[in-house]
Structure 1
Amino acid sequence: MAGGVAALLYNVSGKQAVASEVVVYQSPTCGCCNEWVSHLRSNGFTVSTRDRPNMQPIKQEFGVQPGLQSCHTAVVDGYFIEGHVPANDIKRLLSEKPAISGLTVPGMPMGSPGMEGHRKDSYAVLAVDPDNSTSVYAQD
């Protein structure tokens, strides 16, 4: 386990799965990033944050292409999680372990975790394949 920290998660069938710590890279001045981290923690994840004044090197390191980017980048169990991906979709990812690079919610859609407000926009959680092609993983 990364850092020896683990969170217990339960998949849809009720089987127990163990996930490594979620590491979130974020701008030190971004409030919605902190709200998303709170969303993960309230859904059973152990999260550590790493403030970065320039996020582009992190996005490049994990292969997050410009059209798929958002404000923060997280990593867990070898996957990147870009933007305001709901905790349940991350739990599903860690349970199913598909052969993808990660999940993304491009941009910052209103109503996504950490972006709650006066309206809720429809958005898709995209799975990103190693060749950077995408498919819809979940629709909200």
Structure 2
Amino acid sequence: MIDRRMFMTALAAALAPAPAALGATSAADSPLVKVVRSPDCGCCGAWIDHLREAGFVVDVTMSDDVAAFKEQHGVPQALWSCHTALVEGYLIEGHVPAEAIRALLDQRPEAAGLAVPGMPIGSPGMEMGDQTEPYDVIAWSASGTSVFAQY
């Protein structure tokens, strides 16, 4: 026999919103970012932490020849940084903020990917206290480059 407390608990559980309705995302709902990085680079690990904190699922491959991966996937040399990633068909080069990657995935522009060339101070993974420098997130395609976002 069910008492009143058991009935109310069961009813509350049945009527509670699902986690997705509350804004939570599961690993199955999060984009998978496949990162290729050098085992000797500390800032790559900090950028990966930034992505994970933003809800991305990250798969990391260590490589002693990240340049070969960049060349194989057609990342323009002028945009190179220390790590390269793939997410839902797009390339991500360097310290691109998670919010720019989300915007890319929401907007789905005709682009090969996004890049933050070099390693600007203040970009994700390159934090140095209060020091920051402005930087652009560059979108590129076969027809050229454009500024996707500015930070």
TM-score range, shorter chain: 0.7 to 0.9
**CA displacement 1:3-31 (0-9 Å, x = unmatched):** xx6344xxxxxxxxxx3x10000000100
- Structure 2: distance between partners of 1:136 and 1:65: 15
TM-score when normalising by structure 1: 0.85
- Cα offset for 1:65? 1.3
RMSD: 1.1
- Structure 2: distance between partners of 1:138 and 1:47: 23
**CA displacement 1:9-63 (0-9 Å, x = unmatched):** xxxxxxxxxx3x1000000010000000000000000001000001111001111
Among 32, 47, 67, the alignment partner of 1:36 is 47
Look up the equivalent residue of 2:139 and give its one-letter code.
A
Quote the residue 2:132 is aligned against. Answer: 120
TM-score when normalising by structure 2: 0.79
- Structure 2: distance between partners of 1:63 and 1:123: 22
Gaps of 5+ in 2: 1-26
- Structure 1: distance between partners of 2:72 and 2:29: 25
Quote the residue 1:94 is aligned against. Answer: 105
- Cα offset for 1:93? 0.5
The aligned length equals: 124
Per residue, is there more strand in 1 or in 2?
A: 1
Aligned ranges 1:1-140 → 2 under 5 Å = 6-8=28-30, 19=31, 21-118=32-129, 119-131=131-143, 133-140=144-151
Gaps of 5+ in 1: 9-18
Per residue, is there more helix in 1 or in 2?
A: 2
For residues 99 and 6 of structure 1, do their structure 2 counterparts lie closer, same or farther at Cα, with a shift above 3 Å needed? farther
Structure 1's consecutive aligned runs of 4 or more residues displaced over 2 angstroms after TM superposition are: 5-8
Higher radius of gyration, 1 or 2: 2
Instruction: State the identity %.
Output: 48
